[in-house]
Chains A and B, each alone.
Chain A
C-alpha cells in the first residue's frame, strides 16, 4: 500500500496537491500534498513556524495559495472565498479561537449556525442540544459571556461553535494550545468522539504525542515542506519523529 492510498475505501473529502503559499517573496509553504477522507482524523504535526497555521488559512481561503485543492470532488479554481467554503461545509477552529467575547455562550453557538440559517435550515436549537451533549460544560455556562470563560472552556466553545455548522470537514488549529494536560486529554477525547459522526478532521498540532494518539494518518511539516507521512501508529514509532517530537516518553 502506497502512502497516499490510506483508507481508499472511503470518499475523499479533501485532496491537496502541490499547494504553495508565499508572503511576498517569502515562501511559507511549498509543494504540500495531502488527503483527508470521510470519518478520518488526519494530523499535521511540526514545530513552531513550520507553516501549520498558514496551511489551514490557505485551505479555508483566508490566504491566497497556488496549487490544486479538490474539496468534495470539486476543484477550487482561483481561490474561493471563506464564505463560499463555509457554505460547502468547511469549518475552521482557529488557533486564537476568535470568539465573540461580549456575547453569551448560547449566542456564540447560535452564530455558528448562521450560514445554515441563511441557507434555510431552522434546526439550530436541536444542533445546540447535540453540542451540549458533546460539551456539557457549555450547557452550564450558556448564559455567561464568552470573555469570562476559562481557556479550556473557550476551546470547547470554539469547537462547539464550529460544530453548529454541521461541518463535513473540520479544520482544527492547535486545540491544545495553552491548556492544562487534563483539559487537553478531554479535548482530544472529544475529537475522537467526533470522528464517529463521520466528519473529516484535519488536525494541526504541536503536541505531537496527543495528535498521533487520536489521528489515523499523519504528516510532518518542517519549514514549509512535508518531511514525513504515514499511518499515525507507524509515525509514532519512527525514530526520526521520536527524536524530534516525542522525546523518550513516546517509546511505549
Chain B
C-alpha cells in the first residue's frame, strides 16, 4: 500500500466514520433518555436517502402514505382519549396536526412535480416526510410500554425494525438508489484527489455534532433531556414528562438519521435494507461509549469507519467480520474497567 491508497482509504473511512458517529450519538441519546435500544435508527438513514431519491426521480415516495397512515392512527388514538376525558376543544388541533399536515404534504407533492424543484427544497421535503415518523413511532410503539424493562423495549425495537424494513421494500423496491452529489468540486492533495462531497459530509457531520452540543448545553429543552437521562423521577417532578422527553429524543434521532442518509447517498448506493448495517456500525461506536458517553461514542464510531475502510483493502471478504469483532475486546475492556456500583 502506498501513501496515495492510504490517503484514499483514510478519506473513505473518515467519511463513513462521520456518519457512524452521528448515528452513534443518536443511539446514545435515545437510550439515555428512554432506555430504548433504537435498532430502527438505520431505517431512517435508508428512508431519508430513498425518499430523496424518489423525489428526484419524480415519483411519489411511499413514506407519504406511511406518514398519513400513522397520522390517522394517532389521530384516532388521541382523539378518542380527548373525547373520553371530555376535552372536545382539543379535537380540532389533534386532527389538524396528525391528519391535516400529512394530507397537506401529500397534496403538495402531487400538485407540484418535486423532480423539478431545486435540491435544497427536495432535501427539506424529504426531512418533512421522514423526520415526523420518529416521534410518531414513539407515540404508537414505545409510549404505551414506556415503563417496561429494557428487554421488552428491545423486543419492540426489533419488531419496529422488521416492519420498517418490509415497508421499505414495499415503498422503494429492491433496487438501490444513489442521489447526485451536492457538489462536484474536488481538491488535489499531493497525488490523491479529495472529493468535495467527502469534505461536505465531514463538515456537515461536525456542524451537526456542534449544533447538538449547543442544544444540550445551552437550551432548556436540551437540559431537560439530559435531566431525564440523569434522574427520571426528578425530571417528572419538574414537569418534564417521559412522553415529552421521548418524543423529543425520537425527533432528534430521526432528524440525525435522515440527514445522515441524505449526506451519504451520493457516495454509497442505498438499498431499502442498507440502513440496518449502517446503524449497526453506529451501534458499535455507541457500545464503545458504553451507551452513555457522547464523545467516546463519536470517537469509537470514527474508529469503526477507519477500521472498515482499511480492512476492506487488506481483507475485503472479512470487512464486516473485523468491524463487528471489534465489539468483543471493547466489551471485555469495559467490563474489566468499570466497577459496578450498587443502586442506592
Contacts and interface: CB of A to CB of B under 8 A. Distances in A.
Interface stretch (A43-51, A101-109, A196-204): A101-109
A111 B237 contact: no
A111 B233 contact: no
Given A99-B231, A100-B227, A111-B227, A82 B237 contact: yes
Contacts of B226: 100, 102-103
Interface in B188-247: 220, 223-224, 226-227, 230-231, 233-241
Contacts of B233: 62, 94, 98
A47 B159 CA distance: 49
Q: Which of B233, B235, B236, B239 has the most CB of A within 10 A?
A: B239
22 contacts: A62-B233, A81-B241, A82-B236, A83-B236, A83-B239, A83-B240, A86-B237, A87-B239, A91-B237, A92-B237, A94-B233, A98-B234, A98-B237, A100-B231, A103-B223, A103-B227, A103-B230, A111-B227, A111-B235, A111-B238, A114-B240, A115-B238
B238 A165 contact: yes
B220 A117 contact: yes
Contacts of B234: 94, 97-100
Contacts of A110: 220, 223
Interface of B: 220, 223-224, 226-227, 230-231, 233-241
Contacts of A39: none
Chain B interface SS verdict (over half):
helix
Nearest to B228: A100
Contacts of B227: 100, 103, 111
B239 A114 contact: yes
A161 interface: yes
A25 interface: no
A172 interface: no
A118 interface: yes
Nearest to A78: B85
Nearest to A91: B237
A161 B238 contact: yes
Nearest to B236: A82
Given A60-B237, A114-B220, 4 more contacts: A81-B241, A100-B227, A111-B235, A114-B239
A112 interface: yes
A247 to B, nearest CB: 31
